[in-house]
């Protein structure tokens, strides 16, 4: 795995955790070149599941993108990564069990709200209010990413920057 800090590919796994349901694995890695620690996540991607967005566009279901959205709703709440991972794993499993291979983005949004409600009221309200406004999880993620970019620009010295959600899916979320 390439180190996000120094770009070398020499790392060693220092911790491996399997989710309670056994459908996701997190690995804590240490770059042997620069000692940077980072986390990778492994889950089953349901074969050929496509998300139908509100405007009719379809895209492949991306668990990482889903995780970004949930992590943003949980921002600065005391919800650990393992809990967020379990929500993503739960939703991924549910989608893989559906008889059809297409699912509306609203359906995923409703699932997220249902699960978040049990975990953290604030994260739920945050996700629900923004999600219901946009009616599309992708639009929500784009909006929160924009807000965070603005916050970052406003307070570059913020010591909470390490807790800010990281956009692992790259730039494609912003180009839409």
Which residues of this chain interact with Zn ion, rule CB under 5 A?
Answer: 3, 5-6, 31, 33-34, 36
For residues 39 and 106, which CB has a smaller minimum distance to Zn ion in the complex? Answer: 39
For residues 33 and 83, which CB has a smaller minimum distance to Zn ion in the complex? Answer: 33
CB of 33 to Zn ion, least distance (A): 5
Distance between CA 119 and CA 124 in Å, rounded?
8
For residues 28 and 58, which CB has a smaller minimum distance to Zn ion in the complex? Answer: 28
Rounded-to-5 percentages of helix, strand, coil across the chain: 45, 20, 35
Kindly report the number of other CB atoms within 10 A of residue 157's CB atom.
Answer: 5
CB of 1 to Zn ion, least distance (A): 10
Kindly report the number of other CB atoms within 10 A of residue 133's CB atom.
Answer: 11
For residues 5 and 152, which CB has a smaller minimum distance to Zn ion in the complex? Answer: 5
CB of 38 to Zn ion, least distance (A): 9
CB of 18 to Zn ion, least distance (A): 26
Do residues 78 and 123 lie in contact, with contact meaning Cβ atoms separated by under 8 Å? no
Distance between CA 1 and CA 44 in Å, rounded?
18
């Amino acid at each position: 795995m390439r180190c996000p800090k120094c770009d070398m590919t020499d790392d060693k796994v220092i911790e491996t955790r399997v989710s309670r349901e056994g459908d996701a694995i997190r690995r804590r890695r240490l770059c042997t070149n620069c000692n940077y620690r980072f986390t990778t996540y492994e889950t089953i991607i349901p074969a050929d599941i496509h998300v139908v967005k509100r405007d009719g566009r379809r895209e492949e279901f991306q668990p990482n993108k889903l995780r970004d959205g949930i992590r943003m709703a949980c921002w600065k709440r005391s919800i650990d990564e393992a809990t967020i991972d379990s929500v993503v794993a739960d939703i991924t499993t549910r989608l893989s069990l559906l008889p059809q291979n297409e699912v509306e983005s609203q359906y995923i949004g409703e699932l997220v709200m249902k699960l978040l409600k049990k975990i953290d009221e604030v994260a739920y309200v945050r996700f629900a209010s923004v999600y219901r406004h946009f009616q599309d999880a992708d639009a929500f993620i784009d909006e929160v990413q924009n807000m965070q970019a603005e916050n970052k620009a406003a307070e570059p010295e913020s010591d909470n920057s390490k807790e800010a959600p990281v956009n692992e899916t790259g730039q494609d979320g912003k180009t839409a």
